[in-house]
Structure 1
Amino acid sequence: MAKNFNMLMFFYMMVLGTVVSLSANNWLMIWTGLEISIMSIMPMISNKNFLSSEASVKYFMIQSISSSMMMLGVLLLLINSKIEYQIILTSSMMFKMGVAPFHNWILEMIESVELMVMFLLLTIMKIAPLNMLSYLMFKNNLFICMSLLIGSMLGLTQTSMRKMMCYSSIFNLSFILASISMNSIWWLYMMIYSTMLIMILLLMNKMNINYINQLSLNENKMSLKMNMWLAMLSMGGMPPMMGFMLKLMIIQMMMMNKEFLLSIIMIVSSTLVMFYYLRMSFISILFSASTLKWKIMNNMKSSSWIMMVNITMMPLMLTLKT
């Protein structure tokens, strides 16, 4: 993403639209904030890549359809229609965020956007729809189960790092939806997930990695590989990384609410997600690297803040929790 005045202006307008949606007290202003964010991120999606123009058009069409569904649900709410408006509003927000089974559009466009725009699509652009869902007293268990299964199982077959991050986002979004009734929990989950995602994307950009087999190349420093390894383990939920604490918190909350079947599905799907992150870690460090394994510890002196954040965050969160 080019760092010029236009891009900064579009980024500012996108954040402003999100803030408008979060602070609004009526449906019309929520819709206005969403539209400001959508129209601001579209120029950021377009870049020198030939496929980016197609991606921006796809994004505009999908968001237009979901916004129309949202306004239809709001109209049904205002006229006191017998039609269940909450289903329409919930479906429109799921469509906007790319929750399973409405996830195919984001997988198609994620390959043609820059990594920073990918981060915005997977994090900031989902905050306003999630906040709107927190206003609706509607059970999302069907969407949660489908996102858990699709995000964990289809991620196993991917070789593209971008698509794997996208399936992981769908999987983590199901955990956020499970805690959507408690604002403090899903906001905390979103902030820490965003931190883990930006760590991996920064390392992907620095190491110029787009596919899994590129992790085995030895052109990068061992400190970068170790940081990538720890960031992926944290995203997968390996204790004592901070990603484990997030999943433990949500599963504990679900069991306290007597959602035992959903908790079992979360645990089983989390093991699948942990498997494909471990696979990437093994490719990066253990199997394919020609560097002698006993020299790894000698190169860890410069493994900087990513390692410290991943390791120390979980004890800190446990301290704050008690």
Structure 2
Amino acid sequence: MFNNSFKIMFLLILMMGTLITVSSNSWLSTWMGLEINLLAFIPLMSDNNLMSTESSLKYFLTQALASTVFIFSSILYLMENFYSPQTTLMLSKFLILTSVLLKMGAAPFHFWFPNVMCNLSWLNSFILIVWQKIAPFFILSYVIYKPLIIFCAIMSAICGAIGGFNQTLLTKLMAYSSINHMSWMLMAMLKNESLWLNYFYFYSFLNMILILIFFIFNMSHINQLFYLQMNSKMFKFIMFFNLLSLGGLPPFLGFIPKWLIIQSLIMSKQFLVMTILIISALISLFFYLRMCYTAFMLNNSETNWLLKYQYNNFLMNIYLLCSSFSILGFMSISMIYIML
């Protein structure tokens, strides 16, 4: 990724486009930031192979369609100031939200997301599921149409949970996990901005830990997890603990943001949505646990000739430090809260 200086340049331009969108005070500058972000990410996706080029083309066509709908709906939204019909306002809000949800890959507009991500490198996958969510979520916070957001949250929870079954590619598994987490962030946004920001911080941190270990050992399929010894079984335990933390199992750090959103939904008496989100989280935990059970119990064969992995010790130390906070973070935060 960082072997070529032009990729560092495009990475900086990509960050600049997101910051322009977040800090803009007009629809035109918001759209301009989205386009700068898009045009900078396309060269980063192309890694001189056919599959990544196909993914970049799919991503470009989908984002171009969403950008076209966004600029059209922004013009409609501005026309509301002159004509002020209620129908124009509702239509423009609906189109803006639809284009933004298409950009971030929320269900039922998620058809492109797993297919694009399955052919990307791990660093590009991290950018797609974390950084590329920032600008669309800030636009969603400007224009909130509650029925559409609740519908997309429910659909994202269902599609993200069911779509993770029978997946052998780790990138597709992370893509459907991202769609499932998007439902929680959409419901958190309806409550207040700080709630979804807190969830996004935890979500980014946990994804960074998992993608870091996948990147270190160059893993792409689930069966590589089964035979992964990494010179110590402790690394395998830590990695699966991080998977369960991403799924929101209570002893781990990933349960904290889900707990806050469940508490908020209970206080607002949205029991149906809360039930759907909890069931979808349990289904996600099921296929995480199925991976762990298979790797440890059913398919844990060891050969006499163990492959010695050559990995970066600095990256591994960062991974162990972050993993310790992910596994013990819930207990440490609880102790700090009790002491205060």
The reply to whether TM is greater than 0.5 is: yes
The number of aligned residues is: 313
1:157 aligns with 2:157: no
Correspondence list, 1:209-220, <5 A? 209-220=219-230
Check the 8 A contact 1:218/1:290 in 2, yes or no: no
The structure-2 alpha-carbon separation of the partners of 1:218 and 1:191, relative to structure 1 and needing over 3 Å to count, comes to closer
Letter in 2 for 1:263: M
Match of 1:146 in 2: 155
The counterpart of 2:325, out of the listed 289, 292, 309, is: 309
Give me the whole-angstrom Cα distance separating, in 2, the residues matched to 1:218 and 1:240. Answer: 25
Match of 1:77 in 2: 77
CA positional deviation for 1:73: 1.0
Give me the whole-angstrom Cα distance separating, in 2, the residues matched to 1:119 and 1:63. Answer: 18
Match of 1:194 in 2: 204
Taking structure 2 as the reference length, the TM-score comes to 0.87
1:171 aligns with 2:187: no
Letter in 2 for 1:304: L
Which ranges of structure 1 fall in alignment gaps of 5 or more residues?
Answer: 292-301
Give me the whole-angstrom Cα distance separating, in 2, the residues matched to 1:205 and 1:312. Answer: 23
Match of 1:114 in 2: 121
Taking structure 1 as the reference length, the TM-score comes to 0.92
SS at match of 1:36: helix
1:204 aligns with 2:221: no
Check the 8 A contact 1:218/1:289 in 2, yes or no: no
SS at match of 2:116: helix
Give me the whole-angstrom Cα distance separating, in 2, the residues matched to 1:218 and 1:58. Answer: 33
Give me the whole-angstrom Cα distance separating, in 2, the residues matched to 1:122 and 1:304. Answer: 22
Correspondence list, 1:256-275, <5 A? 256-275=267-286
Check the 8 A contact 2:229/2:236 in 1, yes or no: no
SS at match of 1:16: helix
CA positional deviation for 1:312: 2.6
Q: Percent identity?
A: 32
The structure-2 alpha-carbon separation of the partners of 1:316 and 1:73, relative to structure 1 and needing over 3 Å to count, comes to farther
Match of 1:295 in 2: none
Cα deviation, 1:278-304, whole Å, max 9, x if unaligned, reads: 11222333332236xxxxxxxxxx993
Which ranges of structure 2 fall in alignment gaps of 5 or more residues?
Answer: 303-316
Check the 8 A contact 2:228/2:236 in 1, yes or no: no
Check the 8 A contact 2:226/2:294 in 1, yes or no: yes
Check the 8 A contact 2:169/2:220 in 1, yes or no: yes
SS at match of 1:99: coil
Give me the whole-angstrom Cα distance separating, in 1, the residues matched to 2:155 and 2:284. Answer: 14
Correspondence list, 1:9-20, <5 A? 9-20=9-20
Letter in 2 for 1:26: S
Over 3 Å off, 4+ runs: 315-322
CA positional deviation for 1:56: 1.2
Mean Cα displacement is larger for which, 312-321 or 201-210? 312-321
Give me the whole-angstrom Cα distance separating, in 1, the residues matched to 2:188 and 2:271. Answer: 15
Check the 8 A contact 1:74/1:89 in 2, yes or no: yes
CA positional deviation for 1:197: 0.7
SS at match of 1:290: coil
Letter in 2 for 1:180: M
